[in-house]
Amino acid sequence: MIRILYTLYLWAFFAPVFLILTVITALTTMGGCLLGGERVFAYYPGMLWSRITCCLALCPVRVRGRENIEAGRSYVFVSNHQGAFDIFLIYGFLGAPVKWVMKEGLRRIPFVGTACRAAGFIFVDHSTPQAAARSVKEAEKALGKGASVVVFPEGSRTRTGKMSRFKKGAFRMAADFGLPVVPITLNGPYKVMPIGSLGVRPHRMEMVIHPPVSTESVGAKDLQELAGHTHRIIASSLWE
């Protein structure tokens, strides 16, 4: 009975309200960034949108380890990729402005893609070596301006709830700029909305922000070891 009531709530209230909020957030972000307010409008509208979405979905959120990040400092945040609600969890509750490293296909989502471009988010295009190189340069430009970035080094959402092997791109960026890697463990988004699902299920979510991992003295030959070390840190806080 509870499941039926939630499904009715989901399609009669959550879905239309979420759609309206998304359009408003996208328009606010685009307008503010185009007028020169990227520092504010690339972060706060999306942060509020994410928090409201989690609240509307009836998904309580717990955050641990926020004291591990220093305000005003740049990081490369690296997280496991459980589902669509990963974005709402990180964007809404990390407590630090970030630039997202996103799949190229998200650029085509109406309103959202344009807002992400205006906010300076980085789209990763692997269609050709030249396009991939441009994506890396965009990410490096953002890091060079003192921004922090969020990367899902698995490359795609999990289909089983288990983490797959990390790719080295995020760790190469961090090492090139001498920035700390901050591992983030996400729990719960896989239960809320796994890949391939069109429905949302209410479930508690948790974000664990681990202490930064230094990239000083990390060379090209050490990147896989750094990726594996970060993978183990994130896995240590995953729910069974």
Check if the beta carbon of residue 99 is closer than 8 Å to that of residue 140: no
**pLDDT digits over 23-37, tens only?**
999 999 999 999 999
Average pLDDT for the chain: 91
Q: What is the dihedral of CA 69, 53, 120, 189, to 10 degrees?
A: 60
Q: What is the pLDDT of residue 101?
A: 83
**pLDDT digits over 64-117, tens only?**
999 999 988 999 999 999 999 999 999 999 999 999 988 777 788 888 889 998
φ, ψ at 185 (rounded to 5°): -100, 125
Q: What is the pLDDT of residue 137?
A: 72
Q: Domain residue spans in the chain?
A: 2-235
Query: 2-235 falls under which CATH superfamily?
Result: Glycerol-3-phosphate (1)-acyltransferase (3.40.1130.10)
Instruction: Divide the 240 residues of the chain into consecutive groups of 10 and give the mean pLDDT of each group.
Output: 89 96 97 92 96 97 97 93 96 94 82 90 73 69 79 91 92 91 98 91 97 92 95 95
The two three-digit tokens of residue 122, written as one number = 């980085």
Give this prediction's pTM: 0.91
Distance of CA 147 to the CA centre of its chain: 14
Beta strands in 118-180 (DSSP E): 122-124, 149-151
